[in-house]
Structure 1
Amino acid sequence: MTDPGSAASPATGNSGVAPLLVLGKITDILDSFTLESPSLSLAEIRTRTGLPTSTTQRLVTNLVAQGFLDRDEDRFRIGLKMAYWSAPAVRGIKAIDLLAPLLRELRQATGESATLFRADDDYRVCIAVDETRHELKQDVHVGKVAPLTVGSAGRVLLAWNDDLRERILAQPIPDLAASTITDPAELRAVLDQTRRDGFAITRNERIDGLVGVAAPVFEPSGRVRMAMGVSGPAARIQPHMLEEWAPMLVEMAERATRLIGGRAPAAD
């Protein structure tokens, strides 16, 4: 009797059931790798997929042989061959178009405006927004420019870009609101913490009464490309809500990184 977990299993009749079962298992294995866990042992893959040990070992061996996975001693990671396929998949499609559905998901899940910001010289500029349906909302639109030193999106863009951070911190920091951090040493420490946390939460930094949470979206090189965030009025968004949204936002930013063929930088 043929093991349906084997990559060499033939189709049964004309139904193609066995190949579909194998594809499902392969998908489970590939999905077990994340930006937070880019390298896994065989045991970790088995735990995350729930597949039998023999099936996991057989499929992982075949995936390595075909270049879907790369092996480094006793650990595995997504193979570089996958990058060759991801490039033509997104070629000709603007990153903003790819990520628009994710912004819509964020807005629907939180009820607040979901945005994408990128760094532009010494500022950050909004490149996409899915605006809240609430009457009371912040002034945010495509093309909106703000300093990098304030707000959750600015904090994310600085936290993962060492050169930009040092250039910005060498300049005077404008004092814009009640909680603006104007001391370079204090802001540097906060940016280091943001990098350790994987996201940023800010309150009353750019405008009094405005709060937000943001997470990084990375390029294929591992450099931060955008900050994906959710923000709105403090009168409606309580502190605990930002904390509760942070894991969802990090997961959404991770999905965005994958969609544009990016990867997270190596851990410090």
Structure 2
Amino acid sequence: MLDPISTTDAGSASGTGPSQDQQTAVDKALTLLMSLAEEDREVGVSELARRTRLTKSTAFRLLGILQRNAVVERVGSSYRLGPQLFDIGRRAYGPTPLMLQERLLPFLTELYVLTHETVHLAVLHRTDVMYVNKLHGHRRARTPTRIGSRLPASCTAVGKALLAFDHDAAELAIAQGLPAPTEHSVTDPAEFRAELDRVRREGIAYEREEILPGVTCVAVPVMGAAGRPVAAISVSGALHRFEPARVAPELRRVAFEAARELGAAARPRGRRRPASAEPAAA
């Protein structure tokens, strides 16, 4: 069980918030939310009041307001975070990896059926890519990936497709030093920036033996709101037989349809927005 928040640190577990005497109603409500977020279970009013150093009557009153706004849910005599809070987080930070895995599986499956090669779905995590889903091809190529694993973004096609639209992450990767898993990996900052410029212009990224000898890959970003990608989809295969350029048109189409599906899922019901034009092939 967590220790109660001290009087001087009542606004924040890190001690950066206002003192208890300085707390506004908003401060107190946020303190309750942060306390709920620390538990993967429902929490009773008495326990929340003890943790946050609020009176039980104040905690009950604020929880009632939060409940009316669907920010918390009441389960019997206890409370948990509500759906509105998750919706706010989704709108602020985009789809979660689990949601992407579920919603985009049909599009990965379509690519797999079309190509019979290995198909990946990945998201950016600082300067790495995390693989959210993977479908093994019939002509299975040796790849260093598995669901949940991470690789340096600069050495992968999915990573380049994402870094090209995230300047801060790209510059951080360069500042940390571009890794070289193979002799073909791009380690020169100027060359790497030029490649990301090309990816931004053309909307497609390639990788040829940069993460593993004998493997090549092509990737396209799945665009979200404000022209920023939320994920990238790739097709990879053995260098001696797989030609990435041949699957590029279908990959572009599938990624565009996946982005449209995510956009439709994010909009409130009853509101429709005209579909934007599909990006032209390079």
TM-score range, shorter chain: 0.5 to 0.7
Code of the aligned partner of 1:184: P
Code of the aligned partner of 2:236: S
Cα distance between partner residues in 1 of 2:237 and 2:160: 17
Match of 1:157 among 155, 162, 169: 162
User: Offset at 1:100?
Assistant: 0.4
List 4+ stretches of structure 1 deviating above 3 A.
none
Code of the aligned partner of 1:190: E
Confirm or deny: 8 A CA contact 2:120 2:233 kept in the other structure. yes
User: Offset at 1:94?
Assistant: 2.2
Cα distance between partner residues in 1 of 2:253 and 2:121: 15
Q: Give matches, 1:54-65, under 5 Å.
A: none
1:144 partnered with 2:146: no
Cα distance between partner residues in 1 of 2:240 and 2:131: 23
User: Offset at 1:163?
Assistant: 1.5
Confirm or deny: 8 A CA contact 2:158 2:220 kept in the other structure. yes
1:125 partnered with 2:130: yes
1:213 partnered with 2:218: yes
Q: Name the counterpart of 1:17.
A: none
Q: Name the counterpart of 2:231.
A: 226
Code of the aligned partner of 1:110: T
Q: Name the counterpart of 2:197.
A: 192
Q: Give matches, 1:14-93, under 5 Å.
A: none
Cα distance between partner residues in 1 of 2:140 and 2:151: 23
Q: Is the radius of gyration larger for structure 1 or structure 2?
A: 2
Q: Give matches, 1:221-260, under 5 Å.
A: 221-237=226-242, 241-260=243-262
Higher relative contact order (Cα pairs below 8 Å, separated by 6+ residues): 1
Confirm or deny: 8 A CA contact 2:118 2:141 kept in the other structure. no
Code of the aligned partner of 2:205: A
User: Offset at 1:135?
Assistant: 4.8
- After superposition, the Cα gap between the structure-2 partners of 1:191 and 1:135, relative to the gap in structure 1 and judged at 3 Å, is closer
- After superposition, the Cα gap between the structure-2 partners of 1:136 and 1:189, relative to the gap in structure 1 and judged at 3 Å, is closer
Confirm or deny: 8 A CA contact 1:138 1:233 kept in the other structure. no
User: Offset at 1:256?
Assistant: 0.8
Cα distance between partner residues in 2 of 1:151 and 1:174: 11
Gaps of 5+ in 1: 1-86
Cα distance between partner residues in 1 of 2:143 and 2:221: 21
Structure 2 residue matching 1:232: 3-state secondary structure: strand
How many positions carry a matched residue from both structures? 173
User: Offset at 1:243?
Assistant: 0.8
User: Offset at 1:209?
Assistant: 0.8
Confirm or deny: 8 A CA contact 2:154 2:178 kept in the other structure. yes
Structure 2 residue matching 1:141: 3-state secondary structure: coil
User: Offset at 1:95?
Assistant: 2.6
Code of the aligned partner of 2:188: D
User: Offset at 1:120?
Assistant: 1.0
Confirm or deny: 8 A CA contact 1:152 1:201 kept in the other structure. yes
Cα distance between partner residues in 2 of 1:134 and 1:215: 21
Cα distance between partner residues in 2 of 1:186 and 1:217: 24
- After superposition, the Cα gap between the structure-2 partners of 1:152 and 1:136, relative to the gap in structure 1 and judged at 3 Å, is closer
TM-score, length basis structure 1: 0.60
Gaps of 5+ in 2: 1-90, 265-274
Q: Name the counterpart of 1:25.
A: none
